[in-house]
């Protein structure tokens, strides 16, 4: 019988039914696993399911029965893929499960900032609206999307979905290819260079992975090239936007506002300079939840099961220790 361990079930949410994995064997589930607990909890298991738990060559060599690692995410940066290949350990990740969820969260963050939702809600609830002279209030202005230019960094599945939705609102969509190779959006959307993207975007949303090309993609110098009315949204990865520089740019009003769902270190560190900015009209931070709709997480577990089924149906690998 297969022995399966899920090392960080808490990262999937407590409302999911994880008994589905029992069809493949005996399952042990841990809500959270620290680095020093990995070997003990994975001992004797031939399948490991994890999200953020690190498996380097050391861990793999210490687990001679391990033959399959199922990563409950698209990114596999926590797994030493070269070591896994050398040792004959299969690694499966999942793709496409969160596209709709992240696209939706992008617009949720945008509208909150664009239409000054917090300010107007507090204006009413404070009692100020009760004693106003007219039926409306114009203290904070906003624009229709059809009057704005939306720049996108990363025209993968999520970036393309955001582009489609932005276009439905009438926004003029343009994109920047971080590798210089992506021409998939040409004909539908305008591909521009980085300088044009920064200079002309009213909304700049990031949906790219963290790579050598995207690390520190937006620093203070680049933010100073943006419109002072621009809204920046990062739903890609922390590290693409240099956070200390963003705090400075917001404090100096180099840009109007920013919405972040990802950070360089998660959970956020107490010394993060962004915590200086308490004005939620100008900075909105959510705790890496854009991917986490119930539907997306159910798709995630379904894809993990498909990966396991394909692996066992396709013939198992032999370990190559040595």
> Residue 251 sits in a domain of what CATH number?
3.40.50.720
Asked if residue 318 is part of any domain, the answer here is no
Q: Identify whether 207 is a catalytic site residue.
A: no
Task: Assess whether 89 and 113 both reside in one domain.
Answer: no
The region, left, alpha or beta by phi > 0 then psi within -120 to 50, assigned to residue 12 is alpha
Asked if residue 78 belongs to a domain, the reply is yes
Looking at the fold, whether 52 and 159 belong to one and the same domain comes out as no
Report the distance separating Cα 190 and Cα 166, nearest Å.
13
206 in the same domain as 87: no
- The single residue of 149, 160, 207, 237 carrying the catalytic annotation is 237
Question: pLDDT at position 319, please?
Answer: 66
pLDDT tens per residue across span 243-266: 999 999 999 999 999 999 999 999
The catalytically annotated residue of 160, 288, 297, 299 is 288
Confidence at residue 185, expressed as pLDDT on a 0 to 100 scale: 57
Q: Looking at 107-214, which runs of residues are DSSP E strands? A: 149-153, 172-176, 190-191, 203-206
Q: Is 266 a catalytic residue?
A: yes
**Residue 321 within any structural domain of the chain:** no
Clarify whether residues 149 and 228 are in a common domain: yes
Residue whose structure tokens are 């202005």:
141
Q: Are residues 108 and 239 in the same domain?
A: yes
Is residue 72 located within the same domain as residue 173? no
Task: Assess whether 209 and 302 both reside in one domain.
Answer: no
Query: Same structural domain for residues 269 and 299?
Result: no
Q: How many domains does the chain have?
A: 2
Q: Which of 252, 266, 295, 309 is catalytic?
A: 266
Residue 319 domain-assigned (yes or no): no
- Specify the long-range contacts of residues 270-278, CB closer than 8 Å, at least 24 apart: 272/243, 273/243, 273/244, 273/247, 273/248, 274/243, 274/246, 274/247, 276/247, 276/251, 277/247, 277/250, 277/251
Residue 290 lies in a domain: no
Whether residues 169 and 45 share a domain: the answer is: no
Compute the distance between CA of residue 36 and CA of residue 51 in angstroms, rounded to an integer.
16
pLDDT digits (tens, 9 = 90+) for 160-173: 999 999 999 999 99
To the query of whether residue 288 is one of the catalytic residues in this protein, the response is yes
Residue 49 lies in a domain: yes
* Domain range enclosing 73: 3-97+295-313
Predicted TM-score (pTM) of the model is 0.92
Of 107 and 320, the one with more pLDDT: 107
Kindly state the tokens that stand for 46.
Answer: 């031939």
């Amino acid at each position: 019988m297969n022995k399966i361990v899920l090392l960080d079930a808490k990262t999937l949410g407590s409302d999911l039914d994880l008994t589905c994995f029992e069809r493949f064997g005996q399952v042990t589930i841990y809500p959270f696993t620290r680095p020093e607990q990995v070997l003990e909890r994975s001992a004797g298991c031939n399948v490991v399911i994890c999200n953020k738990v690190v498996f380097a060559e050391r861990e793999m060599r210490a687990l001679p029965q391990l033959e399959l690692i199922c990563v409950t995410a698209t990114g596999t940066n926590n797994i030493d893929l070269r070591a896994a290949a050398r040792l004959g350990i299969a690694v499966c990740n999942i793709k496409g499960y969160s596209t709709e969820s992240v696209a939706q969260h992008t617009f949720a963050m945008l509208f909150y900032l664009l239409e000054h939702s917090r300010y107007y809600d507090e204006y009413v609830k404070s009692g100020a609206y009760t004693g106003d002279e007219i039926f409306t209030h114009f203290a904070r202005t906003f624009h229709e999307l059809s009057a704005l230019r939306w720049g996108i960094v990363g025209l993968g599945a999520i970036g393309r979905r955001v582009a489609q939705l932005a276009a439905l609102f009438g926004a003029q969509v343009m994109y920047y290819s971080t590798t210089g190779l992506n021409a998939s959006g040409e004909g539908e959307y305008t591909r521009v260079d980085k300088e044009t993207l920064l200079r002309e975007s009213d909304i700049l949303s990031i949906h790219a992975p963290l790579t050598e090309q995207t690390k520190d993609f937006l620093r203070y110098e680049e933010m100073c090239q943006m419109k002072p009315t621009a809204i920046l949204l990062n739903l890609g990865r922390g590290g693409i936007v240099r956070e200390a520089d963003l705090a400075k740019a917001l404090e100096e009003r180099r840009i109007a506002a920013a919405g972040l769902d990802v950070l360089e270190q998660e959970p956020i560190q107490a010394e993060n300079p962004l915590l200086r900015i308490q004005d939620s009209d100008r900075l909105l931070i959510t705790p890496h939840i854009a991917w986490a709709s119930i539907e997306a997480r159910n798709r995630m577990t379904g894809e993990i099961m498909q990966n396991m089924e394909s692996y066992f149906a396709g013939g198992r690998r032999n370990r190559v220790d040595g």
